[in-house]
Every structure is written in C-alpha cells, then in structure tokens.
C-alpha cells in the first residue's frame, strides 16, 4: 500500500418531510403537539455547506468526508466534529475529489470504497483508500474489481468486512443506472467477494449491521421519484436475503445510524407533497429484535444527501441538501433518542 500526501481537488455533484403510513403492525406515533424536541442544533460545518458526503464515527468523533462543497463542486475535504468540545477541525483531505462515497470505520481506521466523479452527469469510480488517524494520512488501496464500481451504496461493517449493497454506476437527468450488486471487502486481506444480488436494485439507500444481519433500508431505483419503503435483510451467517417490515415512509436519499439493536432512518428525498421542496423531515426507528418501526420527532431542518452516525447516546446529522437536487447546507443537528 502506498501512502499519499494530503492534497485537495474540486469537481462537481447533485441531489430531500412528511407523515407516516402504518403497515398494520409496525409503526407507532412519537412526538406530537407540545412534545419536547429531542433535536438540537450544533456548530455548523466549519468549512461551509456540504452535500452527498460520507459520515462515519471514529474515536468518538464525527467525520464528514468528500461530497459537494459550497461551490457545488466535488471536494476531497475531510472535516471532523468533536462532540465533547463542540468544535470542528480538518483532517488530511482525500487524494481525489468525489461525491456519493461509500465509507465505513473498521479497526480504528476509515475506508472509502468507491464513489462518483466528474461534472454532471457523474460516473462511478472504484478508487479505494484507507485513513489512519494516528498519521493523519490516506493510503491508496487496490481499486474495486472492474465492473463493480459504484457510489451511493448501502454500507455496513461486521468484523473485518465492509459490505456494499446496490448503488449507482452513473447518474444524469435522463438516466440513472441503479444496480443490484452486493459485495464485501476484507480490510485485513484486501480481498473482495461477490455476494448474492439484492432482491431489487437500490441507490441513495440506508445501510446498517445489527448483530449478524446487514440491513438495506428504503432508497430508490432509477430516479429521484421512485422511492421505496422496503427493508431487505442479509443473514451474514446463512448467506441469504429476506424481507422485513417496511418503513412507515418511503423515501430515498436517507441517512441511517445504529444504536444497539435500533436503526434510525432520517430525512430523505422524493417527497411529492406540496410545499415539501421534495424532501422529508421524517425520523423513524427500526427495532431489529421486534421487526417493528416507531415514528419519532421529525428533523428540525429537513434534509437529504447526508449521513448519520451515533456517538455515545446521540446521533449526529451534518450538512445535506435542503431541497430536492442541490440545496446544500452547513447545518449540523443532533438527535438524542
């Protein structure tokens, strides 16, 4: 592996609040008129607005990785929020500028496995990098296998493996190439493994691992308006997909975070309601043990094209888009269940 010195680039990018529908067994209401809000605003992203970025937690800090910057051009910037101090700092930037990165933290390091580049329309790339916080440096890894490059996949991690399900190969106003592909990367061996395809293609989708199951939540297929409420579950031991209770609100462009056995699916894009600006403020929690959903206090600032991550008892949601398509913001908010 070859260490790469810190430098930044810039290029381009794009890319969402409503109620809930009960499937008869899974959703229960939360919040409501007069209920105290569990959301609070934090210091905004120091480097300015960001959208279609990656979000991970490492060493009790929140990392905002790549995406589109305030000039609506791709960036390789990496910014770090310290919840204890309530302040932002910068880490070494990626060696490339891209949007819709697939990111995960495993074994004390951060991994970026593919994303999308170029001026709109965007094209997927298989570039892969490892970040070591001790040296504040990115190391280039072997790229994703040819033909599996994609951005905006569902991402989860278990043990030494990172799982990527679905994603986009290309994105333009007239054509969005959503894929079925499912694969894993072993951070110790550097080996990729092709796994059984998703039941249906998905991109701009939530991903999370609880116990020995990888969940793929919501998302869309071949277009912003084709939003889904599906929850697919892959048993990492048995190697098979199953379907779980659907989300109360179908949406793409979601952020997903895990606390214990609960997955929180936040925000999104594809809202058809008048006045919504095409985005959702929904905050819904999936209890993996009960296969049941709960509707929680909605976001203060509806957004899509962001990520969410839990540090301690709090879930952090930095940046995102405040209208369908471009509408990037530096707003950072936190939710305490």
Residue 180: enclosing H or E segment and its boundaries?
Answer: none
The pLDDT of residue 79:
98
Main-chain phi, psi angles of 333, to 5 degrees? -130, 160
The pLDDT of residue 71:
77
pLDDT > 60? residue 12:
no
For the beta carbon of residue 211, count every other beta carbon within 10 angstroms.
12
Architecture of domain 2-335: 6 Propeller (2.120)
Structure tokens at 13: 């990018």
Every domain of the chain and the residues it spans:
2-335
Length of the chain as a residue count: 337
pLDDT tens, position by position, 117-170: 987 778 999 999 999 999 999 999 999 999 999 999 999 999 999 999 999 987
The pLDDT of residue 296:
98
Q: What percentage of the chain exceeds 70 in pLDDT?
A: 88
Cα–Cα separations (whole angstroms), residue 133 to 37, 44, 77, 96, 109: 34, 23, 15, 18, 7
First to last CA, the chain: 41
For the beta carbon of residue 35, count every other beta carbon within 10 angstroms.
9
pLDDT > 70? residue 9:
no
Contact (CB, 8 A) for 101 and 54: yes
pLDDT tens, position by position, 100-117: 999 999 999 999 999 999
pLDDT tens, position by position, 298-323: 999 999 999 999 999 999 999 999 99
pLDDT > 60? residue 273:
yes
For the beta carbon of residue 29, count every other beta carbon within 10 angstroms.
12
> Degrees (nearest 5) of the Cα angle 178, 50, 108?
80
């Amino acid at each position: 592996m070859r260490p790469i010195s810190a430098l930044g680039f810039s290029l381009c990018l794009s890319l969402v609040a409503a109620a809930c529908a009960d499937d008869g067994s899974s959703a229960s209401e939360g919040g409501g008129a007069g209920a105290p809000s569990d959301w609070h605003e934090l210091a905004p992203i120091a480097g300015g607005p960001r959208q279609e970025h990656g979000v991970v937690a490492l060493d009790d800090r929140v990392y905002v990785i790549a995406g589109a910057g305030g000039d609506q051009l791709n960036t390789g910037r990496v910014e770090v929020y310290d919840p204890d101090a309530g302040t932002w700092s910068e880490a070494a930037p990626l060696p490339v500028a891209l949007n819709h990165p697939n990111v995960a933290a495993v074994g004390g390091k951060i991994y970026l496995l593919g994303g999308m580049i170029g001026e709109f329309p965007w094209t997927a790339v298989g570039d892969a990098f490892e970040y070591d916080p001790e040296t504040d440096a990115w190391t280039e890894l072997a790229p994703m296998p040819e033909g599996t490059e994609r951005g905006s996949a569902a991402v989860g991690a278990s043990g030494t493996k990172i799982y990527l399900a679905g994603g986009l190969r290309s994105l333009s106003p007239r054509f969005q190439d959503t894929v079925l592909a499912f694969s894993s990367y072993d951070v110790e061996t550097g080996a990729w493994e092709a796994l059984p395809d998703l039941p249906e293609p998905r991109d701009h989708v939530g991903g999370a691992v609880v116990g020995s199951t990888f969940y793929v939540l919501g998302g869309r297929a071949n277009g912003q308006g084709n939003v889904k409420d599906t929850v697919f579950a892959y048993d990492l031991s048995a190697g098979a997909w199953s379907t779980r209770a659907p989300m109360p609100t179908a949406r793409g462009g979601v952020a997903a975070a895990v606390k214990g056995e609960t997955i929180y699916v936040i925000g999104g894009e594809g809202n058809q309601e008048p006045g919504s600006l095409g985005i959702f403020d929904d905050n819904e929690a999936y209890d993996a043990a009960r296969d049941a959903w709960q509707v929680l206090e909605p976001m203060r600032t509806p957004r899509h094209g962001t990520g969410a991550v839990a540090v301690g008892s709090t879930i952090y949601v930095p940046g995102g888009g405040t209208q369908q398509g471009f509408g990037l913001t530096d707003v950072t908010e936190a939710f305490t269940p």
